[in-house]
Amino acid sequence: MQSTNGKKIVVVGAGNVGEAIAYTLMAKAQAEDIVLVDVNQDRAKGAALDIAHGTSFHHQVQVRQAGYEECAGADIIIITAGIARKPGQTRLELAKTNVSIIRSITESIMKYAENPLIIVVSNPADVMTTEVKEFSGLPAHRVIGSGTSLDTARFRYNISTELGVNVKDVQAYIVGEHGDSQVPVWSSAIVGGLPMTEYEEQTGISLDKAAIAEHTKVGGAEVIGLKGATFYGVAMSVSTIVEAITKDEGAILPVAHVLDESFGEWAGVAVSLPCRIGGEGIEKSFRIPMNEEETQAMNHSVEILKGFWRQVKEQ
């Protein structure tokens, strides 16, 4: 087989999200060997074959189904497995359901992998990221939650649509929880190099910021309501994180990891902030400038995450 970049990536969970991630990794030739692991081996094998059959149209990448033993020597392990949130189910109920699954997965990974670099996608993503870090004993910079990376992408898309500009010219972040208490940071938003307020003044456009923030927050639920699940957006989000690692890019992305004591009251749980990501995982986390209202919202978001974590730990 002709080599791409020599990387092996293991995707745990062959549901819609895991399969979409594996497909995206293949199409972008981000690994030489992509392994799907799932308790439903037939589902994982079928997904792997379906993707592998199309490799002749893209890149010579090996895509296959296997067990946790393939975590040995993997460059990146991506966890997507877990029970989907049911109608009427709270995020805390979902967390309590999925935490036992995540513990079992983490134990299986650590049985074979030495100092792995893990990306956590399973929901509730922030709590699950904290659980994987605590249960595995890995350093925080090697357990990365997908966090608000997709929320940020939705935020930028919604802003660009309202302004009629290329989404690449919008720099704005969602931080905090990947969930209802997420924080849109308008005060640091930039469009084409101009602060948002300056852009609005020069163009005469006044954004309905509350409406955009709400549309961003419910974006995932909107897609689920329309088609039953979200998976393409998160696949592209995870692919971007993978690329930052495999190419040692030093890319700055809004992802979650367990913050250390240097973050004061925010420490101890996985929270999303802009982070510089390279070959060894998270190299640096940044305190994005926020106004007083945004700072209060961030404090509230972290407290919610800590409350979830305390209740999940007790079970």
Q: Are 137 and 153 in the same domain?
A: no
171 token code pair: 């720099």
State how far Cα 309 lies from the chain centre: 18
Instruction: Write down which residue in 145, 160, 190 finishes a domain.
Output: 145
> Is there a binding annotation on residue 104?
yes
Q: Are 82 and 228 in the same domain?
A: no
CA 249, 150, 238, 29: dihedral to nearest 10 degrees?
-80
What residue type is 242 in one-letter code? V
Determine contact, residues 165/192, Cβ cutoff 8 Å.
yes
CB atoms within 10 A of CB 265: 10
What residue type is 209 in one-letter code? K
Rounded Cα gap, residues 142 and 119, in angstroms: 8
The angle that helices 149-163 and 232-246 make with each other, rounded to 10 degrees, is 110
Q: Are 100 and 209 in the same domain?
A: no
Q: Are 257 and 126 in the same domain?
A: no
> Is there a binding annotation on residue 17?
yes
Is 194 within the bounds of a domain? yes
> Is there a binding annotation on residue 121?
yes
Q: Are 117 and 245 in the same domain?
A: no
pLDDT at residue 88 in the model: 63
Tell me phi and psi for residue 122, to 5 degrees: -55, 140
> Is there a binding annotation on residue 221?
no
Residue 178 a catalytic site member: yes
Q: pLDDT in tens for each of the 315 residues of the chain?
A: 333 457 999 999 999 999 999 999 999 999 999 999 999 999 999 999 999 999 988 778 999 999 999 999 999 999 999 887 666 666 767 788 889 899 999 999 999 999 999 999 998 899 999 999 999 999 999 999 999 999 999 999 999 999 999 999 999 999 999 988 999 999 999 999 999 999 999 999 999 999 999 999 999 889 988 998 889 999 999 999 999 999 999 999 999 999 999 999 999 999 999 999 999 999 999 999 999 999 999 999 999 999 989 888 776
Q: Are 61 and 162 in the same domain?
A: no
Q: Using a CB cutoff of 8 Å and minimum separation of 24, what contacts does 134-138 make?
A: 134/258, 135/102, 135/103, 135/106, 135/107, 136/106, 136/109, 136/110, 137/110
Q: Are 106 and 30 in the same domain?
A: yes
Expressed as residue numbers, the domain containing 155 is 149-313
> Is there a binding annotation on residue 124?
yes
Name the nearest CA neighbour of 96 among 106, 87, 112, 85: 85
> Is there a binding annotation on residue 16?
yes
Looking at residue 203, which CATH number applies to its domain? 3.90.110.10
Is 115 within the bounds of a domain? yes
Is 2 within the bounds of a domain? no
Q: Are 121 and 245 in the same domain?
A: no
Is 207 within the bounds of a domain? yes
Is 117 within the bounds of a domain? yes
Determine contact, residues 109/68, Cβ cutoff 8 Å.
yes
Instruction: Write down which residue in 111, 145, 179 finishes a domain.
Output: 145
The number of distinct structural domains making up the chain is 2
Is 3 within the bounds of a domain? no
Instruction: Write down which residue in 95, 119, 145 finishes a domain.
Output: 145
> Is there a binding annotation on residue 301?
no
Looking at residue 12, which CATH number applies to its domain? 3.40.50.720
> Is there a binding annotation on residue 230?
yes
Is 1 within the bounds of a domain? no
The catalytic residue among 53, 58, 59, 178 is: 178
Q: Are 33 and 154 in the same domain?
A: no
pLDDT at residue 38 in the model: 96
Q: Are 92 and 27 in the same domain?
A: yes
Give the H/E segment covering residue 129. Answer: helix 125-136
Is 102 within the bounds of a domain? yes
Q: Are 274 and 170 in the same domain?
A: yes
Contacts of 192 (CB under 8 A, 6+ apart): 165, 169, 199
CB atoms within 10 A of CB 310: 10
> Is there a binding annotation on residue 126?
yes
